[in-house]
Amino acid sequence: LTLLQTFVTLAANDLYGKGSLVLGCSLRKHKTTRQLVVLITPQVSQTVRTVLGRIFDEVLLVDVLKSQDSSKLILKKTPELSLMLAKLYCWDLTRYSKCVFMDADTMALMNIDELFEWEELSAVADDICSDCFNTGVFVFKPSTDTHKALLKFAMEKGSFDNGNQGLLNSFFSNWAKVDISKHLPFTYNLNCNSVHFSTLKPQAAAAKVIHFLGKTKPWNYSYDPNTKLVKDHDLSVTHPEYVYMWWDNFTSSVLPMLTEHGVEEATS
Ligand code: UDP
Ligand code: MN
């Protein structure tokens, strides 16, 4: 019996659910041979769950408040860690031999199945010259022991930024200096809002995964499906071509399914 491999994402509400749907469609469009799993929290509506079920092989509800492990205790003490605790459940997917986690605000521009050849914990640097990795895309190996160790670590040390980025960087602290073979090329997690984006031009030309890191996500803009124009975006701060690409994928692949299930007739 060979264990399967899977991409994993997380949606803690309907908006990030839309992001997950675009991500899932982008992986399918580029013909991934791996499975697709989405972790959802109780905030995600029934309709969005149903549509997620059409793209993803598994839609798994993660309810930290009802968990049997120490994450419930951590949540009581530090409620702001709820997203991080939900994300950590990806290590419990032990029926899979290896996984690639991707934020719901990422999108694949081509087939990236070769990521499964990398070992835990492989990731891209948070920015050029950074000693931290970005947790928007990472390769990992599910293990209940690792999940327990991460929770223990979170309980004892917390996270330096109150999020998963700080926790995972402290836990996988060898990444920066020792595990150089686990440094993924920037093309696998290209932050289109980086101030260094222009110096990353060669990588951008070969981009495999775009990450809409930061406060404004593509779904926060409004889009006119008739004129195909994204409205009220600030051209000086983002790379509109990627926002357009996201909306293009959303309107062609995701919106018809949402409409079919009675969610939103118009997006703008
Ligand atoms: N997330 C979510 N709901 C939220 C915030 C975050 O589902 O309200 C999940 C989602 O998978 C998202 C990830 O947590 O991609 C990390 O958050 P985000 O991408 O907003 O952070 P950034 O990459 O901008 O630092
Ligand atoms: Mn993100």
| Burial of 47 (C-beta count, 10 Å sphere; 0-12/13-18/19+) | middle
Tell me the CA–centroid distance for residue 242 and ligand 1, in Å.
18
- Residue 193, ligand 1, Cβ within 6 A: no
- Write the residue with the smallest CA distance to atom 13 of ligand 1: 103
The finding on whether 103 has its CB within 6 A of some atom of ligand 1 is yes
**Chain centre to alpha carbon of residue 34:** 16
N-to-C CA span, the chain: 48
Q: How does DSSP assign the chain, residue by residue? A: -PPEEEEEEEESSHHHHHHHHHHHHHHHHTT--SEEEEEE-TTS-HHHHHHHHHH-SEEEE--GGG-SSTHHHHHHH-GGGHHHHHHHGGGG-TTEEEEEEE-TTEEESS--GGGGGSPSSEEEESSTT-SSEEEEEEEE---HHHHHHHHHHHHHH--TTSSHHHHHHHHTGGGTTT-GGGB--GGGSEETT-TTGGGGHHHHHT-SEEE--SS--GGGSEEETTTTEEES--TTTS-HHHHHHHHHHIIIIIHHHHHHTT--S---
pLDDT digits (tens, 9 = 90+) for 61-79: 999 988 888 898 888 888 8
Which residue lies with its CA nearest to atom 8 of ligand 1?
12
Output 60 or 3, whichever has higher pLDDT. Answer: 60
Ligand 2 mean position to 104 CA, how many Å? 7
Average pLDDT, the chain: 91
Question: Is this complex scored with an ipTM above 0.95?
Answer: yes
Given the CA of residue 103, which atom of ligand 1 is nearest to it? 15
Distance 220 CA to ligand 2 centre (A): 14
pLDDT of residue 56: 98
Quickly state the pLDDT bin for 268 (edges 50, 70, 90): very low
Which token pair is 264? Answer: 């939103």
Cβ–ligand 1 distance for 82 under 6 Å, the answer: no
**Residue 211 Cα to ligand 2 middle (Å):** 6
**Atom 2 of ligand 1, residue of closest alpha carbon:** 12
In which band, very low, low, confident or very high, does the pLDDT at 235 lie, cut at 50, 70 and 90?
low
35: how many CB neighbours lie within 10 A of its CB?
A: 17
Whether 16 is in the pocket of ligand 1, judged by its Cβ within 6 Å, is yes
Centre of ligand 2 to C-alpha 203, Å, is 19
Residue 175 has pLDDT above 80, yes or no: yes
Calculate helix-pair angle for 14-29, 240-249, nearest 10 degrees: 90
Q: Strand 58-61 vs strand 133-140: parallel, antiparallel, or unpaired?
A: unpaired
Confidence band for 226, pLDDT divided at 50, 70 and 90: confident
Question: What was the pLDDT predicted at 51?
Answer: 97
**From the CA of 207, how far away is ligand 2's center (Å)?**
16
Specify the residue for token string 């495999």: 208
**187-191 mean pLDDT:** 94
Q: How far is the CA of 235 from the centre of ligand 1 (A)?
A: 23
Q: Does residue 12 line the site of ligand 1, with CB under 6 A?
A: yes
pLDDT(2) > 70: no
The residues placing their C-beta within 5 Å of ligand 2, an ion, are 103, 105, 136
Asked if residue 236 has pLDDT above 80, the reply is: no
Q: Is the pLDDT of residue 267 over 60?
A: no
Lowest-confidence region among 35-44, 159-168, 192-201: 192-201
pTM of the model: 0.95
**Tokens in use for 162?**
């109150």
- Read off the pLDDT of each residue in 157-169 and give the average, rounded to a whole number: 84
**pLDDT tens for each residue of 102-130:** 999 999 999 999 999 999 999 999 987 78
Shortest-distance Cα residue to atom 4 of ligand 1 = 12
